[in-house]
Amino acid sequence: MSFVERVAGSNDETETRQPVQRGTTSLVLGTVAVALMVFPWLPASLPPWVRFPPVYFIVPAGIAAVVSGIVALRRMRDREGTDRFRARAGVALGTTAIVIPLAVIVWAIWALGQAYQ
């Protein structure tokens, strides 16, 4: 093998490289945020510190999932052959983790306002 071949590398090595997977962080954060929405409905036999503190992490994890997903989608904008599924799924899960708790809070405020009129 000549010096030029060693420096340039063979064509076999460049063809077998895996494409960079982006959006994994968004998908993981979105999945965690949606999973945290189930914690308050765990059995009452579990201590309250297990059931309720994760509630405070739902919206921040959802926001982080949406932001990291949008950043990943922007980085993949002009690249062909990239799989945008992970980033899009993370944005969708993060949006769900933001909208549902806020809708429940708005409903609770409305319901309590109606109950005390």
DSSP H stretches of helix in the chain: 3-8, 11-15, 24-36, 48-51, 58-75, 85-115
Distance, CA of 96 to CA of 61 (rounded, Å): 11
Give the containing element (helix H, strand E) for 57: none
Interior/surface letters 89-115, b for 16+ CB within 10 angstroms, e for the rest: bbbbbbbbbbebbeeeeeeeeeeeeee
pTM listed for this prediction: 0.75
Write out the chain's pLDDT in tens, 117 residues. Answer: 565 555 555 555 555 556 567 889 999 999 999 999 888 888 889 888 888 877 889 999 999 999 999 999 998 887 776 778 999 999 999 999 999 999 999 999 999 999 888
